[in-house]
């Protein structure tokens, strides 16, 4: 991570920031053609000379010991080059139980013969071909000493999560909880369950590792290039500058590619031991285990309202699964901290240790699972109050952040509610459930849910080089995991320099570039974009000084503060005639190029002054077959306010993607364990379902205008994750409205309705 900038940005909008003709345009992603024509080079497409293929053997039990591996059989197979087990695994310089970066977990790299979860790597085979390595791994034919696995939330003893950084969320209490319960005229006490879900980006984890002496070159998809360098430098005992990461394209990240993972370390280790480049790519099945997942939760919500329907208490306790050897607890109860103006709010997190891989961040960690439960509980409370669910939310609208009393940096949630409701036609909703049927006899229901997601910023750096010909090169190691950041970031950079997109060369996705920070937390556009904008302005500032100090320039003597860069010209604000082109300034000065640099980070005091979230409201229509109980989401309307939208087309695509994940969360995604072995039974796309085109009917996104003067100088929040957040509850509530059945678990299955 880069250091916080030395001169912190003001936490109020920098009024001198002007966007030009690029930001705000619905441009098509720059890498789209390369991706759809197959010319984009993903990590696994790299095939250096002398490449060996690595295949690891995943444990098929969840708890126990490996007692036998037929290493001789594997070694004897033609084309097998090496077999690594805990007995001969070459040493690492850094302890794999350590956490070298902010987003690290203990990794499994054949430390010993213990099996802690199904899918854990228990041996690695290196082959001249993928087929040889695969067959070698098969021939290892392991024996186990198996113990009874614990894979369900009821299989362990709950403990209070000890807060302390990443994956250990703190609980909060505001107001008098007991008094809030006591003051309730009506109350509900409900428990919701969410299933464990696995990151299944289109591109599975892959790595190609090449050593040259103690220089390490990695082709590996990552959401945080420089952090990845730091992690692997630590494990291999080399200076961070010796590690180069190339990550130009990712086929999805979802949070799983923000963390160092054991299989990658094994591949790098095998490359060093063999003296040859090594490629390892996880199969779809192998995605279920060593590369994190969204942990299952059981959430108890106790809500109470007074006679006026104002919430007197919102008490949210979340129990979540984690592994036996590390901590990541889904911060689900966080969802209740910042949304509704209850008299008393408590969020608490408890954990259960199970024989599973350590969970981790997965798109909208915390809020996705937490709001699924909260938004259904709010629907239940509204029903108990005899109120329309939207009216009930407006009644409990928070004008300042509950508990802290902090003002929101901006909050256009009311507009989201109203615009979303209008577009959806919510006003015609009958209050009672099971009132609507369509012409095919399908039960029809309407539900809604609120979305919120924090608007974080990480630290990033960038460089902008203006050339004598008037073009520019901008550089940052930013990651584009499919969200389109290479396009929206370039739009920001072009505006900061007063250039058009075709005058801009944009380099990213390589660790030798200035540290673009982490593409996570929906904060990448704000973070890397902030750094790029600062770099562009630094370049233009230098250009302005050249001109203002040159008697031959029409800008001679003009103060830098009054200068505007647009269309390749620098001119005095309000007096466009007084100015000249970048090329004239540079050529007269005999300067071949100007290099500006920029940093971005949020100064801590900004977060102390304001609560910062994106918001949204999602409205869902479902159709349910009254006999077969098949469910379909027939319409979804999401209205979101996320500050300044840099690229409406890409933002809409992100929000839609989130809403589609919301459909999957509500109706499809669930990893199921075999109770005997602990193995995941549906570890592939045949059994682990995600929404496909046929599951997605009418989908509409409304982006609600929102000016945020405080969140960061560019006024950008984030759109990557929030789409999931409101959608899940909206669908659950719509199913209740259609059928009269309240299902308190996700995903909602046919059998839940059949037996309701």
Smaller CB separation from ligand MOS, 119 or 523: 523
Residue 65 to residue 122: CA distance in whole angstroms = 10
Phi-psi category of residue 310: left, alpha or beta, with phi > 0 → left and psi -120 to 50 → alpha: beta
Q: How far is the CB of 293 from ligand MOS (least distance, A)?
A: 11
Element (H, E) at 614: strand 613-624
Cβ contacts of 421-424, under 8 Å, gap ≥ 24: 421/390, 421/448, 421/617, 421/619, 423/619, 423/637, 423/639, 423/700, 423/702, 424/619, 424/621, 424/635, 424/637
Rounded (5°) CA angle 43-47-51: 115
Residue 619 to residue 420: CA distance in whole angstroms = 7
Smaller CB separation from ligand MOS, 401 or 721: 721
Residue 357 to residue 261: CA distance in whole angstroms = 11
Smaller CB separation from ligand MOS, 424 or 453: 453
Smaller CB separation from ligand MOS, 254 or 571: 254
Residues 357 and 289 sit within 8 Å (Cβ to Cβ): yes
Smaller CB separation from ligand MOS, 258 or 748: 258
Smaller CB separation from ligand MOS, 363 or 537: 363
Residue 118 to residue 286: CA distance in whole angstroms = 10
Q: How far is the CB of 518 from ligand MOS (least distance, A)?
A: 8
196-205 residues labelled b (16+ CB within 10 A) or e (exposed): bbbbbbebbb
Q: How far is the CB of 646 from ligand MOS (least distance, A)?
A: 18
Q: For residue 520, state whether it binds ligand MOS (rule: CB under 6 A).
A: yes
Task: Give the tokens for residue 673.
Answer: 């364990």
Residue 584 to residue 40: CA distance in whole angstroms = 38
Q: For residue 169, state whether it binds ligand MOS (rule: CB under 6 A).
A: no
Chain positions 213 to 252 lying near ligand MOS, rule: CB under 6 A, are 223
Q: How far is the CB of 255 from ligand MOS (least distance, A)?
A: 3
Alpha-carbon dihedral 595, 18, 3, 209, rounded to 10 degrees: -70
Q: Which of 108, 321, 401, 721 is catalytic?
A: 721
Residue 545 to residue 559: CA distance in whole angstroms = 8
- Residue 346 bridge partners (DSSP): 173, 315
Rounded (5°) CA angle 424-430-436: 85
Task: Give the tokens for residue 183.
Answer: 């003051």
Smaller CB separation from ligand MOS, 378 or 455: 455
Smaller CB separation from ligand MOS, 343 or 365: 365
Q: How far is the CB of 495 from ligand MOS (least distance, A)?
A: 26
Smaller CB separation from ligand MOS, 58 or 521: 521
Residues 6+ apart with CB under 8 A from 633: 620, 621, 622, 663, 666, 667, 695, 696, 697, 731, 734
Q: How far is the CB of 601 from ligand MOS (least distance, A)?
A: 17
Q: Which of 304, 521, 691, 747 binds ligand MOS (CB under 6 A)?
A: 521
Q: For residue 729, state whether it binds ligand MOS (rule: CB under 6 A).
A: no
The mark string for 355-384 relative to ligand MOS (x by CB under 6 A, - otherwise) is ------xxx-x-------------------
Residues 455 and 612 sit within 8 Å (Cβ to Cβ): yes
Q: How far is the CB of 257 from ligand MOS (least distance, A)?
A: 8
Residue 59 to residue 66: CA distance in whole angstroms = 8
Smaller CB separation from ligand MOS, 322 or 496: 322
Task: Give the tokens for residue 750.
Answer: 């046919």
Q: How far is the CB of 613 from ligand MOS (least distance, A)?
A: 15
Residue 18 to residue 533: CA distance in whole angstroms = 10
CA atoms within 13 A on the CB side of 184: 25
Chain positions 247 to 276 lying near ligand MOS, rule: CB under 6 A, are 253-255, 258
Among 342, 352, 320, CA closest to 333: 320
Q: How far is the CB of 479 from ligand MOS (least distance, A)?
A: 10
DSSP string, 389-439: HHHHHHHTB-SB-TTT-PBBS---HHHHHHHHHHHHTGGG--SSSS-EE-T
Smaller CB separation from ligand MOS, 474 or 724: 724
Interface with ligand MOS: number of residues (CB under 6 A): 11
Can 321 be counted among the known catalytic residues? no
The DSSP letter of residue 355 is S
Rounded (5°) CA angle 290-1-102: 40
Q: Cite the active site residues.
A: 721
Residues binding ligand MOS (CB under 6 A): 223, 253-255, 258, 361-363, 365, 520-521
């Amino acid at each position: 991570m880069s250091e916080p900038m030395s001169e912190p940005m003001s936490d109020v909008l920098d009024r001198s920031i002007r966007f030009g003709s690029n930001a705000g345009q619905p441009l098509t992603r720059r890498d789209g053609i390369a991706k759809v024509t197959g010319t984009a080079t993903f990590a696994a497409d790299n095939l250096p000379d002398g490449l060996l293929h690595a295949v690891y053997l995943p444990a098929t039990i969840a708890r126990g010991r490996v007692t036998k591996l037929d290493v001789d059989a594997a070694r004897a197979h033609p084309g097998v080059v090496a077999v690594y087990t805990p007995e001969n695994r070459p040493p690492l310089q850094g302890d794999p139980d350590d956490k070298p970066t902010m987003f690290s977990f203990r990794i499994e790299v054949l430390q010993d013969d213990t099996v802690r979860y199904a899918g854990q790597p228990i041996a690695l085979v290196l082959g001249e071909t993928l087929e040889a390595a695969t067959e070698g791994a098969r021939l290892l034919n392991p024996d186990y000493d198996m113990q009874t696995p614990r894979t369900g939330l009821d299989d362990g003893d709950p403990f209070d999560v000890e807060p302390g950084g990443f994956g250990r969320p703190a609980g909060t209490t505001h107001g008098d909880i007991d008094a809030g319960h006591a003051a309730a005229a009506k109350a509900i006490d409900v428990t919701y369950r969410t299933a464990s879900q696995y990151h299944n980006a289109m591109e599975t984890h892959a790595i190609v590792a090449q050593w040259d002496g103690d220089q390490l070159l990695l082709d590996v998809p990552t959401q945080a290039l420089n952090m990845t360098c730091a992690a692997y430098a630590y494990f291999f005992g080399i200076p961070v500058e010796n590690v180069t990461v190339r990550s130009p394209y990712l086929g999805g990240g979802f949070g799983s590619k923000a963390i160092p993972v054991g299989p990658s370390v094994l591949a790098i280790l095998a490359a060093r031991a063999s003296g040859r480049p090594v490629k390892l790519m996880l199969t779809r099945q192998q995605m279920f285990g060593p590369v994190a997942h969204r942990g299952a939760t059981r959430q108890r919500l106790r809500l109470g309202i007074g006679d006026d329907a104002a919430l007197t208490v919102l008490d949210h306790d979340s129990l979540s699964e984690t592994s036996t050897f590390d901590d990541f607890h889904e911060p689900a109860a966080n969802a209740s901290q910042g949304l509704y103006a209850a008299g008393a709010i408590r969020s608490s997190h408890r954990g259960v240790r199970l024989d599973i891989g350590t969970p981790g961040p997965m798109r909208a960690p915390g809020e996705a699972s937490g709001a699924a439960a909260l938004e259904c509980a709010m629907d239940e409370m509204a029903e108990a109050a005899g109120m329309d669910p939207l009216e009930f939310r407006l009644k409990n609208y928070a004008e300042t952040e509950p508990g802290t009393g902090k003002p929101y940096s901006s909050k256009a949630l009311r507009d989201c509610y109203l615009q979303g409701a209008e577009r959806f036609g919510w006003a015609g909703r009958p209050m009672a459930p099971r009132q609507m049927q369509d012409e095919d006899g399908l039960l029809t229901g309407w539900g809604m849910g609120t979305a919120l997601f924090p608007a974080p910023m990480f630290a990033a750096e960038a460089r902008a080089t203006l050339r004598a010909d008037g073009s520019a090169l901008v550089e940052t190691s930013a990651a584009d995991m499919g969200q389109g950041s290479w396009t929206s970031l370039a739009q920001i950079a072009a505006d900061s320099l007063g250039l058009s997109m075709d005058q801009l060369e944009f380099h990213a996705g390589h660790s030798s570039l200035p540290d673009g920070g982490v593409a996570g937390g929906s904060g990448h556009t704000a973070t890397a974009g902030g750094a790029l904008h600062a770099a562009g302005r630094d370049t233009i500032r230098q250009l302005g000084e050249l001109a203002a100090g040159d008697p031959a320039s029409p800008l001679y003597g003009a103060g830098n503060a009054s200068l505007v860069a647009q269309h390749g010209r620098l001119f005095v604000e309000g007096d466009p005639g007084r100015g000249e082109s970048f090329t004239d300034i540079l050529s007269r000065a005999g300067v071949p190029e100007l290099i500006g640099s920029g940093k971005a980070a949020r100064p801590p005091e900004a977060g102390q002054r304001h609560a910062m979230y994106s918001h949204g409201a999602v409205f869902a229509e479902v159709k349910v077959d009254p006999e077969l109980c098949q469910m379909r989401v027939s319409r979804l309307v999401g209205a979101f306010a996320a500050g300044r939208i840099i690229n409406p087309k890409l933002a809409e695509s992100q929000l839609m993607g989130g809403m589609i994940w919301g459909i999957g969360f509500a109706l499809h995604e669930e990893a199921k364990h075999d109770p005997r072995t602990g193995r995941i039974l549906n570890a592939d796309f045949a059994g682990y379902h995600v929404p496909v085109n046929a599951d997605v009917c009418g989908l509409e996104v409304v982006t609600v205008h929102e000016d945020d003067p405080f969140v960061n100088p560019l006024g950008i929040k984030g759109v990557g994750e929030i789409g999931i957040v409101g959608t899940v509850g909206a669908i659950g509530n719509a199913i209740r409205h259609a059928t009269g059945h309240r299902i308190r678990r996700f995903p909602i299955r046919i059998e839940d309705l059949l037996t309701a």
